[in-house]
Amino acid sequence: QITLKEAGPTLLKPTQTLTLTCTFSGFSLSTSGMGVGWIRQPPGKSLEWLAVIYWDDNKQYSPSLNNRLTLTKDTSKNQVVLKITNVDPVDTATYYCALRRNSGNDWRGWLDPWGQGTLVTVSS
Partner 1 sequence: QSVLTQPPSASGTPGQRVTISCSGGSSNIGSNTVHWYHHVPGTAPKLLIYSNNQRPSGAPGRFSGSKSGTSASLVIRGLQSGDEADYYCAAWDDNLNGWVFGGGTKLTVL
In the complex, which residues of this chain contact partner 1 (CB under 8 A)?
Answer: 37, 39, 46-49, 51-52, 60-63, 96, 101, 103, 105-106, 108-117
We find the least distance from the C-beta atom of residue 111 to partner 1, in angstroms, to be 7
Interacting residues of 24 by C-beta distance below 8 A, sequence separation 6+: 2, 3, 4, 5, 36, 78, 79, 80, 97, 99
Torsion of CA 105, 24, 58, 69, to 10 degrees: 120
We find the least distance from the C-beta atom of residue 106 to partner 1, in angstroms, to be 5
Phi, psi angles (nearest 5°) of residue 62:
-70, 125
Give the closest residue to 7 by CA, choosing from 73, 97, 93: 97
Cβ distance to partner 1 smaller for residue 32 or 108:
108
Cβ distance to partner 1 smaller for residue 16 or 70:
70
Cβ distance to partner 1 smaller for residue 62 or 85:
62
We find the least distance from the C-beta atom of residue 90 to partner 1, in angstroms, to be 15
